[in-house]
Chains A and B, each alone.
Chain A
Amino acid sequence: MDMEDILLTDAIERYHKNEMSPEERAYFEDLRKNNADIDQLTVEQLYLLNQLENYSAQKKFKSVLKETHQKLSQEGIISPPTATQGRIYQIWNRYKRTVAVAASIALIVSVLTGLLVSVLNPAKQNNIKPLVEKLKEQDNKYKKLEKQLGDLHNANEQQEEKPRVESKFRATGFMIDVNHNIIVTNAHVLSEAKNLLIVENDKGEQFQAESIYVNADNDLAILKITDPEFKKLAPIPFSVKKNSADLAEQIFMLGYPKQEIVYGEGYISAQNGYQMDTLYYQLSTLANEGNSGSPVLNKNGELIGIISSKEANAEGVVYAVKSTSIYDAIKEMKKVKENEDIRITCNPILRKTDRVTQIKKLKDYVFMIKGN
């Protein structure tokens, strides 16, 4: 090893730390100027020393942080939240006042709008058309034939199948909780199902369901598949948006305007629904009878609404219940039915995937709602 190299390294170190006398410093700088090799070596060395210094400082700093964290944890000042309830309670306390003010404003507004609506529009429902398809007699005849043929076929194969339900109507619904087999659809759909309610997937398999919550105000109904033959689906691939979607946001939907699943696209054309109803979006898209209860999603695959009705006098004006109402409905439902549990999970699966993949994943969660 060259003694000179050690001396030089040592010199650079002292130069770096500003430990040189003015004369020595001048001499060293002169040396750098006149010797390219030494200058190059110095530049590298200084860079390394700077990095080493930053590294050391951060390393030390991290150990102080760690000790502080430990100390404060022991003192209980830093503590992981023990229960969700506690945390919500804390937030509630913190924002109680704001919430109270907001709530009272909301109350006043809703009472006022209610009054206005009832005064100005005694016949509100007249111009909008619910999108449940009433199946015609003929269809049922055709179904009967189909069924007989099916029975024949089954008899040949000696299989037993449960009798197919003859439905008076067809609408759409979608699953939001696979653990409890919960399906959301429109409230007005259920008015047609007086005796029997079933859901049917796109393979034509029918399952018995029952309604566990209906709210005509926001046109939402919650159903539960009670059929023991229903096989649990994989976790829900979409999330239900907790806040409002934006004007002009692109949307798509899946529904059953006919006996097979149909895809549709559009955009949010207004933040409020028919006659400024704040519970609805106005969409620009095409929807037909049978689309009632269709899930409406944005490009990230977040559920933002549920198709409910369309303007009878204009083409392409469709109304959808806002997804936030689903959360309200669940909250309301839990008040009445304590033993029913519904959980909405947030799943990122549909983010940043192309539409075809999104639809493939979503399809299984969209059902026909039928009954008589």
Chain B
Amino acid sequence: MYKEYAVNQFEPDKQLLRGLADQDRDSIEKIYRLNYPMIQHMIINNSGSADDAADIFQETMIVLFEKATDPQFELNCLLKTYIYSVARRIWLKKIQQQQRMLTQEQDFEQVVLVDDDLEIHEQKQNQFNIMESAMAKIGEPCKSLLEAFYVNKKPMQLIAEEFKYTNADNAKTQKYKCLMRLKKLFFAEYNKKN
């Protein structure tokens, strides 16, 4: 009986996570509504600003998104507790880096251990940063072309029209050249960092 209750207790949260994994706007909005004030409160009470709160909440959402899209992930506590724990950990780390003084406000919410999750997040974030800097270096029209294809998943025909290539094959050749340049830049950066 208890177990059934426990499962049901997390069901609305799991639904929200599924929505999050699909980038469903309603789910995202709901998570914001339910948790943003709590996080803002925590950060401002720990010597942060409203802008810090916006940044930390965004990063927390990205961690959550990574988790939601990871088939291995299982939510073992209330979503609220998880969000609070992640945001708190990120913020503590940030203020430690900035050597700011922490006034050590009392935690009003329950906290779970999220160190492992954040370590994975950090690795992913590093890779994201490498890709972002490679994309920034690649220049136009390559950046727009690759983003149109890989980020916005536009069909080649449409891309050919938008970028004024004579046909889809031509666009494909251009995309290939750009991808090779990206690969070079990406692995150069990657090898530098590893």
Contacts and interface: CB of A to CB of B under 8 A. Distances in A.
**Binding between chains A and B:** yes
A113 interface: no
A285 B25 CA distance: 61
Given A81-B40, A348-B101, A68 B29 contact: yes
Contacts of B188: none
B132 A55 contact: yes
A44 B58 contact: no
Contacts of A69: 32, 54, 58
A215 to B, nearest CB: 24
Contacts of B108: 95
B193 to A, nearest CB: 13
A54 interface: yes
Interface stretch (B1-9, B84-92, B110-118, B178-186): B178-186
A64 B58 CA distance: 11
Interface in A96-144: none
Interface stretch (A45-53, A151-159, A321-329): A45-53
Contacts of A179: none
Contact of B101 (A9, A56, A57, A346): A346
Interface residues of B, number: 49
A352 B99 contact: yes
Interface string B99-135: 1110110101000000000000000100110111001
Interface residues of A, number: 43
Nearest to B61: A65
Contacts of A1: 173, 176-177
A52 B131 contact: yes
Interface string A177-220: 00000000000000000000000000000000000000000000
Contacts of A346: 47, 101, 103
Contacts of A284: none
B77 interface: no
Interface stretch (A71-79, A251-259, A264-272): A71-79
B186 to A, nearest CB: 6
A10 B144 CA distance: 19
A243 B102 CA distance: 13
A355 interface: no
B167 interface: no
Contacts of A348: 99-101
B76 interface: no
B101 A239 contact: yes
A119 to B, nearest CB: 35
A346 B105 CA distance: 13
Contacts of A54: 124, 127-128, 131
B128 A6 contact: no
Interface in A330-371: 346-348, 351-352
A72 B30 CA distance: 10
Nearest to B29: A68
A157 to B, nearest CB: 45
A163 interface: no
Interface in B41-64: 41, 44, 47, 50, 53-54, 58, 61-62
A14 interface: no
Contacts of B41: 87, 91
B176 A57 contact: no
B28 A57 contact: no
A58 interface: yes
B15 interface: no
B187 interface: yes
B165 interface: no
Contact of B28 (A56, A64, A347): A64
B69 interface: yes
Interface of B: 23, 25, 28-29, 32-33, 36-37, 40-41, 44, 47, 50, 53-54, 58, 61-62, 65, 69, 99-101, 103-104, 106, 108, 124, 127-128, 130-132, 135, 146-147, 150-151, 153, 172-173, 176-177, 179-180, 182-183, 186-187
Given A6-B176, A65-B62, A69-B32, 11 more contacts: A6-B173, A9-B180, A56-B151, A56-B153, A61-B23, A65-B61, A69-B58, A80-B53, A239-B103, A242-B104, A352-B99
11 contacts: A9-B176, A52-B146, A55-B135, A55-B151, A56-B151, A62-B58, A78-B32, A78-B40, A80-B40, A87-B44, A243-B104
